[in-house]
Each structure stands twice: as C-alpha cells, then as structure tokens.
Amino acid sequence: MHPVIRKASPLAALKSEEQGALLRALGPTVRIRAGEDILSDGDRPGVSTMLLEGVAFRYKALADGRRQILSFQITGDVLDLQTYVTRRMDHGVRALGDCKIATIPHAAVSSLIERYPGIALACWRNALLDSAISREWMVALARRPAHERIAHLFCELTYRLKAAGVAEGDGYRLPLTQALLAEAAGLSAIHVNRVLKMLRNDGLATLSKGVLTVNDWEELQRAGHFDPTYLRPD
Amino acid sequence: MHPVIRKASPLAALKSEEQGALLRALGPTVRIRAGEDILSDGDRPGVSTMLLEGVAFRYKALADGRRQILSFQITGDVLDLQTYVTRRMDHGVRALGDCKIATIPHAAVSSLIERYPGIALACWRNALLDSAISREWMVALARRPAHERIAHLFCELTYRLKAAGVAEGDGYRLPLTQALLAEAAGLSAIHVNRVLKMLRNDGLATLSKGVLTVNDWEELQRAGHFDPTYLRPD
DNA sequence: CGAGGTCTTGAAGACGATCAACAAACGTGG
DNA sequence: CCACGTTTGTTGATCGTCTTCAAGACCTCG
C-alpha cells in the first residue's frame, strides 16, 4: 500500500485500481513549512489538496484577532474536498509542523468520483469522520473542564496518529506550543500551562519541546472521558 | 415547488425531474410529537430520514446525564444521510416541536444518487452546510461570552427559518425552553435566564411562551457578531 | 551576546456555576 | 371550576474556574 494511503484511513478501503487512479491524479508534491497557511480563509482554489505528510490544523480568526483551532488533520486527509462543491473556504488550514501536500484539480475529482464510486464513498466517509470529530469536540468545548479537554485532545491525537501508523511508542513528535493548544482547547495559554503541569505531576502525559509523552494511557483516557468509538467509522 | 423543497435550501437547486424522483422515493409521512426522539444514539436504521415539517435538534448525552445540543434542523433537512455510509448514529435527533418526517430506504438513496448526480451534489451541499454551521458554533462555544452566544444562536435560527420561508415577521413560534437553550449554548439554565433578561431589557429579543420576538435585528446581529455568510453555500 | 519566542508563576478579578427558594404557568383529574 | 403536581421561569447569594495583568526565567538562533 502506498504510504499516503495510511492504514485505518477512510481511503484504505479502496481497491488497488482505485488507489492507483487516485494517486495518478495527484499533482507534484509541495513542501510547506511549519506555520504557513496551506489554505486561507476566503480562498477559491480550483484544486483540492491532500495532506501527504505532517500535521495541519483548521482554524477560524475572530474579529478581535483571536483564533480558534477547529480540528487537526493528519497524513492522508483530504483538506478541502469541500471547495469542489462550495468553491470558497470559510476557514484557514495551516501547517503545524513541516508538511508535504499534493493537489488534484477539481476536474480530475469530477471524473474520479464519476468513474470510481468507491472513491466517492471514501471521500464521503472522510468527511463524515471529520463531522464526528467536530461533534465530539463541541461537547468537550461546551461542557468539559479544562483538564478534561486537554486530556481528551491528547487522547484523540495519540489515537489517530497511532492508528495511522505515524506515531509509535509512548512519546512522539507533536510540534504543539502551549499557545496553540490554548487556541484549540478554547482556553488561555496561561491556564493551559497550569493544566499541563497538573497532567505532568499526576503522571498522565507530558508535552515538552514539541514531544508529547503519554505516561499513563489508561488514566489519561479516563481523565478525558475518551471513548474512541467516534473515530471508527464502523 | 413542493413545500418540502423549501426555498434557499440546498435541495432547491434540483431540476424538477430530480425533485420528482426524490419525492416519489419518500415513504409515508409520520408525525412525531414534541420531545420524542426521531433517531437515537446507537441506532442503525436501514432508511434515511427527511424532516418535512417542524424543528428538531441533534444532541449528545454525557456520561453524567447532562446533554449538549449540537445543532438545529429545520424543514427540508435530511437528518441522517450519514447512516447510509456509516450505518450507526453517534448522536440522537429529537423533535423540538411537533414534526413530520418521511423516510427513504438506503437502497433507494443508492439508486437516486446513482441516477441523478444533481441529487448527490445537493446532499453533499446539505452536509457541507451542516459542517459550516458546526464550525461557527465551535467558535462561539469556545470563545464567545454567554450573551453573544445566545444572540448568535437567535440570529442563526431566525435567518435560517426566514430563508426557508418557515418564519415570518418579527415574532415566530420557537418552542424552546430556557433549559434547552442552555443545553445548546453550553450554559446553565439559570444563567440563560439572566442573559435573556438582558436581551429583553436592552430591546434586542424576547423569548416567551415558545415565541421568539426579534425587537432589533440590526443590534441583535451586532451583539452576536453574526455574519450570515457561512449560511450561504455560495 | 542580545532578541524574540516560549514557558512559568503569582495575584487579582470576572464570568458563569451551583445552591436555595419561590413565583408563575400549565395540564390533569376530581 | 378548583385543587394539585409538574414544568418552567425568576431572583439572590456564594463559590470556583478560568482570565487577565504582571513579571521573570528559559531557550534558541541570528
């Protein structure tokens, strides 16, 4: 299997004929450096973008300059299939660490989903997984206290990255600053700092110098009320 | 145009031939009373459900019994096209007021989207609109203070219901209790009460006996930082 | 070595939750 | 029609979580 079609991804179910067609439609690989926008709010791209390597995040900017991170995307995710239908991006997508991407012209998307129903279904599945993650995250933002939110986010990222075969072992590279974590969790950076200290002291997880170390996976899941069911599209 | 295919809905762009095919595929109309589940968490329906009349809401229950409302659905929305792909509901959908629904067997969905690409596209558009609303709501839950959240929610509902031609004038029926509003806004019912009092005293909006009256639309939009762009799929 | 980003800690204050009590509205049955 | 229990709405008081302000330590990289 091509490394971009990572295991456990919605694309993994594609027949090899379909995988080949999809990969052939991809344009050249482009490197994006950490912190750069892959897609900006208001863009009207004529292509759809696939994340080949690295971690990126969706975000919205508020009028006063604050930002809210909406979700994280990992290797193998299609970042803006939506622009194929709606044309205009209503949020930005930014590289967390260094990334590699490739694009597919919307016209090629058209003929792919027309010719290969399996690809259309896989894209649909991908979008539904994103929605499921959004729903779970809405509940966390609205109802869970700070330490549960952070624990839950750590669980989700760890689970997804491991399922994708991108992360291994107890500690893995995750170039997330406390400020970014605050923008994801709907908290202030200062409070994130205090929560991280608690998680560290309690021996659950440690985020330091861009490496997330999960010290007690069972307890971390409990702390974040994490149930991975929503990540398995069944 | 059939009243179910309400104006401004993603389905409104369908050719009349496609509309006819869609409507013929619908099963008999079923009445649902206020407060009843249309779909429950964990359901594996063999049909997809369309909301013909009324307002419903998606929700998730937390382990401790609290609930979070994820979104509101109105006349013409397809409630669980997702089960066509993922089979299992990961949240519930409940009737806010009395509703009418009709179902379409998944097999019929299959042949519809196969035969009429326009229907597939409209369904896709419908799903993307839901996602856009989720994103906006995530920002509100994470970053906006209570009165902005409530104002924003009132704006969104008013805008959508008017665009759909379901609500008219400055006051319209919306059987929303303060407790439910709290479950949607991620607040306590008591605080919702105080916020409503403020909105009422400031002459922005009044929610009383299941009727939402918008007293000052311009000011309400400002108070909620409401920009309807995200509701127009372009 | 200096500069900017990141992390850390303390103190004060705001926003919203919780607790407690009561009023008003509503539906039901007597 | 009234008595009632239940749901919904209202208000006050207290408390806790998280924010904001302020300052300093650490780290990395030119």
pLDDT in tens, A63-108: 988 999 999 999 989 999 989 999 899 999 999 999 999 999 999 9
Model confidence pTM above 0.75:
yes
* Average pLDDT of the residues of chain B: 92
- In this complex, the answer to whether residue B209 has its CB under 7 A from any atom of chain C, a nucleic strand, is yes
Virtual torsion, Cα B216, B221, B224, B225, nearest 10 deg: -150
Measured distance CA(A231)–CA(A219) in Å, rounded: 19
B211 touches strand C (CB under 7 A): no
Rounded CA–C1' distance between A179 and C6, in angstroms:
9
Q: B7 falls in which pLDDT band (50, 70, 90)?
A: low
Residue nearest to nucleotide C15 (CA to C1'): B145
Mean pLDDT of B16-27: 89
Tell me the angle at which helices A117-143 and A16-25 cross, rounded to the nearest 10 degrees. 80
Predicted local confidence at residue A3, as pLDDT: 64
Q: Do A132 and B60 touch (CB under 8 A)?
A: no
- Predicted confidence at residue B120, as pLDDT, reads 87
Q: Where are the beta strands (DSSP E) in chain A?
A: 30-32, 37-39, 47-53, 56-61, 67-73, 92-95, 99-105, 171-173, 205-208, 211-214
For residue range B107-159, list pLDDT tens digits in order: 999 999 888 888 888 888 889 999 999 999 999 999 999 999 999 999 999 99
Cα of B176 to nearest chain A Cα, Å: 19
Cβ of A195 near strand C (under 7 Å)? The reply is no
Q: Which helix (H) or strand (E) holds A183?
A: helix A178-185
How would residue B13 be classed by pLDDT, with cut points 50, 70 and 90?
confident
Confidence of residue B19 (pLDDT cuts 50, 70, 90): confident
Measure CB to CB from residue A88 to each of B62, B114, B234 and give the nearest one.
Answer: B234
In contact, B121 and A85? CB cutoff 8 Å = yes
How far apart, in whole angstroms, are the C-alpha atoms of residue B57 and residue B92?
8
Q: What is the CA radius of gyration of chain A?
A: 18
Q: Which residue numbers in chain A have pLDDT < 50?
A: none
Residues 6+ apart with CB under 8 A from A197: none
Amino acid A93 reads V
Q: Which residues of B touch A90 (CB under 8 A)?
A: 132, 135, 229-230
Q: Measured from the CB, is A177 under 7 Å from any atom of strand C?
A: yes
Q: CA distances (Å), A96 to each of A38, A73, B64, in order?
A: 10, 9, 35
A233 contacts on B by Cβ (under 8 Å): 85-86
pLDDT bucket at B3, cuts 50 / 70 / 90: low
Check if residue B189 sits with its Cβ under 7 angstroms from strand D: yes
Name the β-bridge partners of A171. Answer: A213
* Residues on chain A touching B152 (C-beta within 8 angstroms): none
State pLDDT tens for residues B146-195.
999 999 999 999 999 999 888 888 899 999 999 999 999 999 999 999 99
**B132 and A66 in contact by Cβ < 8 A?**
no
